[in-house]
Structure 1
Amino acid sequence: MTTSDEQLILITGASTGMGAATARELARRGYHVLAGVRRQADADALRTTGVEPVLLDITEPEQIEAITRRIADDPAGRPLRAVINNAGIAVNAPVELLSMPEWRHQFEVNLFGHIAVTKAVLPALHASSGRVVNISSIGGKVAMPTYGAYAGAKFAMEAMSDALRRELAPHGVQVVVVEPGGVRTEMTGRGIERMNETVAAMTAVERGRYGGLLQAVISHATAFTKSGLSAEAAGRIIAEAATARRPRTRYTIGRDAAMLTRLSRILSDRLLDRLLAADLRPHFPKGQQATAVAH
């Protein structure tokens, strides 16, 4: 087998957070990491020994084609050990309020872009008996209120990963899913900013219907993130999923993710509804807690 310093690993969404931490951890382990970023400023900040930033917007076919050429024409002839599909966005709003362009954009980034990257690099992974690592979420198992679009794309990512794993296993290519829970990353902060923008743009009727819920979700997401793992701790788990000799089919990140994943398998829908409502209820503005009860 080739050693780590003779292998490439491609990771998308590496500008900040878990992606950047994973790129640095893989480089520390000796791999040459092609770290996908969308802006040159992010590339300059990320560049270090073993980390080669590449401009890669996974919704742009030309940039996906460019990275496949970079892999095929690697100056050292190094094989592609793994692709880590990590890029993502979070736009939270009730199903009724989220516009159709926003729905489509979230699926383009959180699902279809990953499929496009995976399809493009699969020939290289077939040649190296490599690995696909898909970064899902606890939202791929449990859909909280206002997470319809985000969780919908992650549920689909889970299903696609299962199908892909069963298709590729006979051909020596492994597929692994990683399901983070609370992790302290910039993406959560950007998601909270977007939710505040949604609240500000609501009509009086919409605010009466969903204002309390959105305020509760913002408060819950803030607390959830503060108590979560560091990006560096998450990066170590993702790096292990990408490089372990005998990887599991799924890894969770954080005790919250492990617990909710188990509960989603054993509780009825109604019991899970009540559990999630109870968890969210303390975050509602005063006087609105009663409306948070799931019936």
Structure 2
Amino acid sequence: MTLSSESRSLAVVTGTSTGIGAATARELARHGFHVLAGVRRDRDAEAIRAPGIEPVILDVTNPEHIAALTARVRADPQERPVRALVNNAAIQANVPIEAFGIDRWREMFEVNLFGQVAVTQALLPDLIAGKGRVVNISSVGGKVAMAAYGPYAATKFALEAVSDSLRRELSPFGVHVVVVEPGAVHTEMLGRAIAGAEESLAAMTPEQRSRYGRLVHAVNEQAISSTKSGLPAQVAATVIAKAITARKPRTRYTVGREAALLTLVRFLPDRVMDRILAAALRSHYPSSETPPVTPRVPKVYNA
């Protein structure tokens, strides 16, 4: 894919209000794409609007929004082909499986999986016509399910499976499907995940808090600690742009050393992996037996 073809092409990116999505929209615009940047609110639309970036209101769980996006693509005044779809929109909450309400399970799957599938289904005829590319943003959580990451990891494991099947289905038509697996990256998702954990902790029964309070604290402390050495969202955006513009893209790209390591250690025996993850979490547990208040995320982690 050459720069001249990019300058005549559309790229659709979901979840561009902040973090990796926003950085990806800007990076693709720098590569010459006209980016349709999905946001959920008008104020986010104005924040992302820039030369080469056209914000569109898009809640991936809203069929009317997806229909409007599809209509916009097919009514493009310059009749530009869709060369890329980046499925980035996602939510996260680090909560033990027992304490995560089934309605919240459904919401997480609606956003992180079903919404991605719905957008992909809607745009596939256009991507096939343009021999475009689908880039699904997964996570290290799509390879390794750590304690209290069960709901989020379940959606990402499922997205990885969908990506594998879709890649094999679309290969005969010249459409590449790529998975990008970021590790620790500076984004606002961490703050939202911890806020979700706080809400869940408050809603737990006393018995559940006695079981999981210290675990939730440790998981959130570990997340904050890992993010201190995490990468800026722009690094992930650069990898995503490479996945879109490379002549022969890999089927998977990791972002950061942590992601590369975790995708390798998953081949260890289960019990060995359990011990490694437990050891990594141990230093983040509070010394008191009383479940503590979940820590806040410093402002530095918002991007």
TM over 0.5: yes
> What do the CA deviations read for 1:261-281 (whole angstroms, capped 9, x no partner)?
01102x000000000000000
Aligned AA (2:279):
A
Aligned AA (2:176):
Q
Residue 199 (structure 1) shift: 2.0
Task: Quote the Cα distance in structure 1 between the aligned partners of 2:279 and 2:38.
Answer: 39
Scaled by the length of structure 2, the TM-score of the pair is: 0.93
Counterpart secondary structure, 1:96: helix
Task: Quote the Cα distance in structure 2 between the aligned partners of 1:243 and 1:16.
Answer: 23
Residue 287 (structure 1) shift: 5.0
Give the structure, 1 or 2, with the largest relative contact order (CA under 8 Å, sep 6 or more).
Answer: 2
Q: Does 1:32 align with 2:17?
A: no
Residue 201 (structure 1) shift: 2.7
Task: Quote the Cα distance in structure 2 between the aligned partners of 1:201 and 1:87.
Answer: 26
| Gap runs ≥5 in structure 2 | 290-303
> What do the CA deviations read for 1:42-78 (whole angstroms, capped 9, x no partner)?
0001100001000000000011011111111101110
Conserved 8 A contact 1:192-1:221: no
Task: Quote the Cα distance in structure 2 between the aligned partners of 1:11 and 1:142.
Answer: 26
Map of 2:71 onto structure 1: 69
Map of 1:43 onto structure 2: 45
Counterpart secondary structure, 2:12: strand
> What do the CA deviations read for 1:214-265 (whole angstroms, capped 9, x no partner)?
0001101111222110011111111111221110000000000000001102
Task: Quote the Cα distance in structure 2 between the aligned partners of 1:53 and 1:10.
Answer: 10
Task: Quote the Cα distance in structure 2 between the aligned partners of 1:20 and 1:226.
Answer: 21
Map of 1:269 onto structure 2: 270
1:98 to 74, 97, 100: 100
Task: Quote the Cα distance in structure 2 between the aligned partners of 1:181 and 1:145.
Answer: 16
Map of 1:190 onto structure 2: 192
TM alignment of 1:209-248, pairs within 5 A: 209-248=211-250
Say what the alpha-carbon RMSD is for the aligned residues: 1.0
Aligned AA (1:193):
A
How many equivalent residue pairs?
A: 287
TM alignment of 1:1-295, pairs within 5 A: 3-265=5-267, 267-286=268-287
Map of 1:291 onto structure 2: none
Aligned AA (1:283):
H
Task: Quote the Cα distance in structure 2 between the aligned partners of 1:243 and 1:120.
Answer: 22
| Gap runs ≥5 in structure 1 | 289-295
Residue 3 (structure 1) shift: 1.9
Counterpart secondary structure, 2:266: helix
> What do the CA deviations read for 1:184-238 (whole angstroms, capped 9, x no partner)?
0001111111112222232321111111100001101111222110011111111
Conserved 8 A contact 1:55-1:63: yes
Per mean C-alpha deviation after superposition, the further-off stretch among 29-38 and 191-200 is 191-200
Residue 19 (structure 1) shift: 0.2
Aligned AA (2:280):
D
> What do the CA deviations read for 1:59-115 (whole angstroms, capped 9, x no partner)?
000110111111111011100001000000002211111111000000000000000
Question: Percentage identity across aligned positions?
Answer: 59
Aligned AA (2:217):
Q
> What do the CA deviations read for 1:135-158 (whole angstroms, capped 9, x no partner)?
000000000111111000100000
Task: Quote the Cα distance in structure 2 between the aligned partners of 1:185 and 1:234.
Answer: 11
Aligned AA (2:32):
G
Map of 1:292 onto structure 2: none
Conserved 8 A contact 1:84-1:242: no
Task: Quote the Cα distance in structure 1 between the aligned partners of 2:240 and 2:114.
Answer: 21
Per mean C-alpha deviation after superposition, the further-off stretch among 253-262 and 220-229 is 220-229
Conserved 8 A contact 1:164-1:175: yes
Map of 2:292 onto structure 1: none
Task: Quote the Cα distance in structure 2 between the aligned partners of 1:212 and 1:111.
Answer: 30
Task: Quote the Cα distance in structure 2 between the aligned partners of 1:3 and 1:131.
Answer: 14
Scaled by the length of structure 1, the TM-score of the pair is: 0.95
Map of 1:293 onto structure 2: none
Aligned AA (1:240):
K
Aligned AA (1:270):
R
